[in-house]
Amino acid sequence: MAEKRFYITTPIYYVNGTPHVGSAYTTIAADVTARFERLRGREVFFLTGTDENATKVYEAAQEQGVAPEAYLEQLIPVWKEAWRDLHIGYDDFIRTTEPRHVEAVQEFFRRLQESGDIYLGQYEGWYCVACETFWRESDVTDGLCPNDWCRRPVRKMTEETYFFRLSKYQDAILRWIEAKPDRLLPDFRRNEVVAFIKQGLRDQSISRPGEEWGIPVPGAENQVVYVWFDALINYLTAAGWPNDAETFQNTWPADIHFMAKDIFVRFHCTLWPAMLMAAGLPLPCRLIGHGFWTAEGRKISKSLGNAIAPGDLARMLSDASGCEPDVAADAIRYYLLREVPFGQDADFSFDGLKLRFNTDLANDIGNLCNRTFSLIHRLFGGKVPALPGGDSPVRDALKRAAETMAQEMEEQRYSNALQALSDAIKEVNKHLNDRAPWNLHKEGKTDEAAGVIAESLESVRAFTILYSPFLPVAAERIWAQIGAAEPLSAQTWDRAAAWEGLPAGAELPQPTPVFPRIEAPKGQKAAGKAPGAGKDASKPNKKASVPAPSEESGKPTVSQTEPSAESKDESNFISIDDFAKVQLRTARVLAAERVEGTTKLLRLDVEMGEEDRTVLAGIAESYAPEELVGKTVIVVANLEPKKMRGVVSQGMLLAASGPDGPVLVAPEKAVDSGSEVR
């Protein structure tokens, strides 16, 4: 028998507003998982959709003075467009007002009614419309919803409703959880579920009398099905239940239900398993309750008025960096899953997004691509050099990254998986720095230079495949520049670490940076390090780090302190002829790293036209290495080389004395590297 489809779901979202970062977070995680599993050769069924039968949806339509149906038809295209903009590749988009779902809910209700698990009773208690949640009397102490992210007034209700015998399944749910603890992730959320169940489960009211909006209860047309009982059944509906037995057998149970923590304990891990047990259906394999994204410490939600639209974020990031809007959308996907472990809460920051864009995307993968493509064009006429055989530290780094990523993705530890890729890319970039193929080529060691660059290109090929679940469009843009004969969509997980090389001699197209670095406006530091970090900003720093530091101390060889009034005499002037001896040229920073054993020195590998150089600069207290990569700087090009800390420095950077330390001098507009500064 063929393996069943790998079934992934998001919760279905209330459509009383438009998508925001919180709803995007869940959907992106599900999409990344779906793409990862497809890359590994699995047939995947990825479901998302909208919950349209809620009281809050009906009330939102009333506020706008339109019928619920008309209100929904305005919003559903907005949701679908938002998912397209974030490159969400779902297989099915379910709406709970669809006839297939109405039929499934009513059939499910009938079956549980016939088995005796649904009965008519009297409900008295509190109800929160915003959370669509019933609360017992002891839960509500001040007339407000007990959920700390809600705290809105609740309604006191006394009405005849249908009840589901939830209490009957309390022990069975606990046994199900204990049998395989990793069914519920993360661990601390599973502990919350167990504690909640052990407090004692009450039978659940599952209908609302006198409502004008919702799925009618079979045989009781004056009542509608409670929205949560209705909503959970969507996972069965999309899998073909109850009419398409073949599709259902090939799809159910769900492999992963994704959701935020607010609907994890009470509904998905308590009510839903009990409903499935009562219906005699298999239970889902895994449920994951992730944390909230907050804004200034408050949960991001439409009802709180602090929702951040992903489309607006992508446009802002595109404007700041100059990247394509589709690449900016990928960067948002990356940021949300890289910034914190998936189960934890996090506070959203646009500055944090820009920082992650610069450090991980522009400086790591972007820098590796830019340097590799540039070197192939400059040293080998744009033709792919042959990949050497034998052992390689680059290959080892790639293999470790792929193995670690696979392990972390098994339990949806996205941040760890991306960290593994980032660490490996740093190793490849360092290997490229250490081997310095530009110098090998200059020394006539063409084959060695070609081998180093071929290994870098092979790593770009592999990393592009590995990153593709997170960065689908950006990966396509990189793939188009590596000269591969097959499309990225045809690649598999095994091909990522195959170390097979691209066809030698194939011609690469002219490269275009996919992740252009975000530069700060004049007077501000670029994303990458906080201004004055680690320093006392109240103390003026009058030293500039322009000159090459001395071997012994790492301090400038020539004092750059501001001259006193007494020393400002004619002896400080030089002739125009002396100044003409100084050659200043622009250079682009290819790589940067700290020099071991010093706190001030950075080693920079720079490109000056057709020449590559190494320059040491005492700017480590003002600039992090990663924020310099890709920058254009000005170098004193004819300074006598000096060996320091075992490294020969072939120039000196120009910088101004700022209040928090040296500030590098750079051209106002883009210029070619190696341009003369006059």
Number of Cβ atoms within 10 Å of the Cβ of 291: 18
Can you read off the two tokens belonging to residue 614? 């190494």
Q: How far apart are CA 463 and CA 468, in angstroms?
A: 8
Q: Kindly report the length of the chain.
A: 678
Q: How far apart are CA 113 and CA 129, in angstroms?
A: 26
CA distances from 583 to 492, 558, 613, 639, 653 (A): 51, 18, 15, 8, 12
Burial of 124 (0-12, 13-18, 19+ CB in 10 A): exposed
Per DSSP, helices labelled H in 199-303 are: 227-232, 234-238, 245-251, 272-279
Location of each CATH 3.40.50.620 domain in the chain: 6-299
Burial of 356 (0-12, 13-18, 19+ CB in 10 A): buried
Low-confidence spans in the chain with pLDDT less than 50:
528-571
Cα 193 to chain centroid distance, Å, stands at 27
Q: How far apart are CA 232 and CA 651, in angstroms?
A: 66
Can you read off the two tokens belonging to residue 233? 């059944």
Count CA within 13 A, CB hemisphere, residue 289: 19
Location of each CATH 1.10.730.10 domain in the chain: 311-496
Is residue 5 within 8 A of residue 251, CB to CB? The reply is yes
Q: To the nearest 10°, the Cα dihedral for 362, 368, 374, 376? A: -160
Cis peptide bond N-terminal to 511, omega within 30: no
Is residue 411 within 8 A of residue 256, CB to CB? The reply is no
Local structure of residue 365 (DSSP, 8 states) = I
Cα 39 to chain centroid distance, Å, stands at 18
Count CA within 13 A, CB hemisphere, residue 27: 28
E strand map for 166-283:
184-185, 204-205, 207-209, 216-217, 220-225, 256-260
Q: How far apart are CA 470 and CA 476, in angstroms?
A: 12
Can you read off the two tokens belonging to residue 399? 């293999």
pLDDT score recorded for residue 466: 97
CA distances from 594 to 82, 359, 564, 623 (A): 42, 16, 33, 10
pLDDT score recorded for residue 397: 94
For the structural domain made of 311-496, what CATH number should be given? 1.10.730.10
CATH of 6-299, one of 3.20.10.10, 3.40.50.620, 3.40.640.10, 3.40.50.300: 3.40.50.620
Which CATH superfamily does the domain covering 573-677 fall into? Answer: Nucleic acid-binding proteins (2.40.50.140)
Count CA within 13 A, CB hemisphere, residue 169: 21
Sequence-distant (≥ 6) Cβ neighbours of residue 318 within 8 angstroms: 324, 325, 327, 328
Q: How far apart are CA 22 and CA 348, in angstroms?
A: 10
Cα 89 to chain centroid distance, Å, stands at 16
Q: How far apart are CA 612 and CA 105, in angstroms?
A: 69
Strands 256-260 and 6-9: parallel
Number of Cβ atoms within 10 Å of the Cβ of 98: 16
pLDDT score recorded for residue 347: 87
Location of each CATH 2.40.50.140 domain in the chain: 573-677
Cα 413 to chain centroid distance, Å, stands at 12
pLDDT score recorded for residue 300: 64
pLDDT score recorded for residue 519: 80
Q: How far apart are CA 243 and CA 253, in angstroms?
A: 16
Count CA within 13 A, CB hemisphere, residue 381: 4
Local structure of residue 168 (DSSP, 8 states) = G
pLDDT score recorded for residue 521: 63
Could you tell me which of 208, 233, 228, 10 has the C-alpha nearest to residue 106?
233
Q: How far apart are CA 32 and CA 12, in angstroms?
A: 18
Q: How far apart are CA 563 and CA 66, in angstroms?
A: 75
At 40, phi and psi to the nearest 5? -85, 5
Local structure of residue 572 (DSSP, 8 states) = G
Can you read off the two tokens belonging to residue 644? 């320091």
Is residue 544 within 8 A of residue 560, CB to CB? The reply is yes
Number of Cβ atoms within 10 Å of the Cβ of 374: 17
Q: How far apart are CA 234 and CA 223, in angstroms?
A: 20
